[in-house]
Amino acid sequence: MSSEISILNLILDSGAVAKTVIVVLLMFSIVTWAIMAERWRYFRRAQAQSEEFLAFFRSERNYRQVYTAASKLPFSPAAAVYREVYEKYAPAFPLPAAAADQAGQADQAGRPKEVDQDLVESVYRDLRLAAHRELARFEQRLPLLATAGSVCPFLGLFGTVWGVMTAFLDISTQGSTNIVVVAPGIAEALITTIAGLAVAIPAMVAYNYFVQRSRVLGLELEDLATAVLNVLQLRTIAGRP
Q: Is the pLDDT of residue 240 over 50?
A: no
Residue 238 pLDDT: 45
The C-alpha atoms of residue 214 and residue 208 are separated, in whole angstroms, by 10
Q: Which residues contact 35 (CB under 8 A, 6 or more apart)?
A: 141, 142, 144, 145, 206
Residue 181 pLDDT: 55
Q: Is the pLDDT of residue 170 over 80?
A: no
Q: What angle do CA 27, 35, 54 make, to 5 degrees?
A: 175
The pLDDT tens digits of the residues spanning 33-74 come to: 999 999 999 999 998 999 899 888 888 778 888 889 999 999
Domains of the chain, by residue range, sit at: 2-103+111-238
Q: Is the pLDDT of residue 146 over 70?
A: yes
pLDDT interval class at 100 (50, 70, 90): very low
Q: Is the pLDDT of residue 180 over 80?
A: no
Q: Containing H/E element for 225?
A: helix 179-238
Mean pLDDT value of segment 103-122:
56
- CB half-sphere exposure, 51, CA atoms < 13 A: 6
